[in-house]
Amino acid sequence: MDFKLCAIASGSSGNCTFLQAGSKMFLIDVGISGKKAVQGLSELGIDPYDIQGIFITHEHIDHIRGVGIFSRKHNTPIYATQKTWHKILTEKMIGDVKEENIKHLDKETNLEMDELTIFPYTIYHDAIDPVGYAFFYQNKKITIATDIGVVDEWIISHLKGSHGILLEFNHDINMLEAGGYPYYLKKRILSDVGHLNNEAAAKALTDIYHTDMQWAILGHLSKDNNVPDLAYLTAKMALEEKDIMIGRDIKVSVAKRDCVSEVHFI
């Protein structure tokens, strides 16, 4: 049975990821327009009415922009933590949502859907109650790890054992520091509740690598403070220092910002 992931959009301007486990199909975040999400699914040959749920990582606009319209049009359940739901609903961030489509998640607690297990884990980011996700299906694990300000032993413990991972490579520190962002924004991005830089992400990737890890997708790249080739090269050099060779030991790709990326299977 299929266990696969595809980034429909990934970057600081909008994020949406498709995941399939057997007959179950989900989106992680819809931070792009509902129309663009539907177009992305169409390219994958997926009917949007077959999406059985949307898992929200946190309430920032680049992760929830199209969630409401997608759910209203296709009657799709939305999963988020109670605190995240409270903020989204009280601030009317996604418009009206049917009561039956408001689904609450408990962090650090498995959600079982037949053979698929979804595990929302705590991450460090300046949102109300942000999470990453680990998906387990037929003894395989796919992990979503973006919008993480810092990687410590806690985060590593949730990334370990992944057979495939979408990992944040948000910015190059030198590009950010030399760029035109205002000081407060640079400070936020560089903070422990901001975004992961290339070097820190590459180190995390080498720390969690194991011989059964098949692929890593470098995602959530900043439009202004990173370039795909630099993110890829940083990952490649860090892996090679540990004698882990791209192509021989692991597949590494960079998620596209504004269009559908390659489908990755486990």
CATH number, residue 246: 3.60.15.10
**Contact between residue 20 and residue 68 where contact means Cβ atoms under 8 Å apart:** no
How far is the C-alpha of 29 from the C-alpha of 18, rounded, in Å?
A: 9
Asked whether residue 116 is assigned to any structural domain, the reply reads no
Number of domains in the chain: 2
pLDDT number for residue 1: 58
Domain boundary among 44, 76, 105: 105
Q: Are residues 100 and 4 in the same domain?
A: yes
Provide the residue range defining the domain that includes 252: 148-256
User: What pLDDT does 26 receive?
Assistant: 98
- pLDDT (tens place) for every residue of the chain, 266 residues total: 599 999 999 998 999 999 999 999 999 999 999 999 999 999 999 999 999 999 999 999 999 999 999 999 999 999 999 999 999 999 999 999 999 999 999 999 999 999 999 999 999 999 999 999 999 999 999 999 999 999 999 999 999 999 999 999 999 999 999 999 999 999 999 999 999 999 999 999 999 999 999 999 999 999 999 999 999 999 999 999 999 999 999 999 999 999 999 999 99
